[in-house]
Amino acid sequence: MKKLINHPAAVVEEMLEGFVAAHSRYVRQLPHNKRSIVSTNTVRPGKVGVICGGGSGHEPSFLGLIGKGMVDGVPVGNIFASPPPDPILEVTRAVDAGAGVIYLYGNYAGDCMNFDMAAELAGMEGIRVETVRITDDVASAPKSEEDRRRGIAGDFLVFKVAGAAADQGYSLDEVVRVTSKANQVTRTMGVALSPCFNPQTGRPSFELGPDEMEIGLGIHGEPGVQKGKIKPADEVAGELLDRILADMPLSRGDRAVVLVNGLGSTTYMELFIMYRRTAQILAEKGVEIHRSYVGEYVTSLEMGGCSITLMKVDDELARLMDHPADCPMFVQM
């Protein structure tokens, strides 16, 4: 393991210090809890507060998405670990502007427990909180058990919809409705080529041979669904899309938003090669690409590999995806 860090136990705090210093126009740390990061300019009376969060190590998610048209605050956990209830509650108080708050996070046991606890505490203070758990990972559970699926790179697209809806003045109930709709039509499949190393343990998140890849492996190193020899990019893209489209069929004339997401150490050259084949396959099926995103949005430290996400959009979702956003690590005009 080679990393540019100081002490392993200090990586999260030092990252936050650097992030806030670099992006002080967008974000600030709350004084009572340094793990509570909120927007400097998006909270306004009558606007629904949007909070996303989870463990560190997935940058630019979640911190980089604080800003106009996206989220208002992020409670920060340890590497690959949920934030505890205290910073979640602290962020909730800071972003509540009288219209309620929505919690958005991947469907992991620790996040569910801690965010639910914070929501209960917020309710005791008179703050209404609603929750949408992201469940886009096709590999993590069968279609008949979608509520057990994990949230991975599709988080970004669902956060985008929620942030746009809140920015456009949707009520809390309406933000929940449209965010739930977005989650229901978002699917992701990933492929891993190499592990990441947690700086606090120095251990790899999983093991693969030098000529192996694994389909469906989770962003924390959770087991995938198929391990084998590495294949050409076109074949890998085809396999990922086959699994997505078997789970959420798209017909000629349908529209989709496409995200090809790097997991941490995959070059943009490789990501664009993967997008190239993805676009070809969708064109062959008569599916229109409404918007495309290629890059690192939800990473796993320095894991090698990528994921493909499709969101099937109607007019409402397309309009919300087109809404401008301005965040430290994502700008859409």
Rounded CA gap, 134 and 156, in Å?
Answer: 10
Cα three-residue angle 8-9-15, rounded to 5 degrees: 80
For the stretch 291-320, pLDDT in tens is 999 999 999 999 999 999 999 999 999 999
What pLDDT, on the 0 to 100 scale, is given for residue 333?
A: 85
Question: What pLDDT, in 10s, does the model give residues 118-159?
Answer: 999 999 999 999 999 999 999 999 999 999 999 999 999 999
Separation CA 77–CA 104 (nearest Å):
14
pLDDT at 1: 85
Q: Are the C-beta atoms of 72 and 28 separated by less than 8 Å?
A: no
How far is it, in rounded angstroms, from Cα 212 to Cα 12? 31
Low-confidence ranges of the chain (pLDDT < 50): none
Active-site residue numbers? Answer: 58, 220
Kindly report the backbone phi and psi dihedral angles of residue 278, in degrees, each rounded to the nearest multiple of 5, phi listed first. Answer: -60, -45
Relative to beta strand 73-79, strand 33-39 is antiparallel
pLDDT value, residue 7: 96
H and E: helices and strands count for the chain: 8, 15
First to last CA, the chain: 39
pLDDT at 224: 92
Crossing angle of helices 172-184 and 154-167, in 10° steps, is: 150
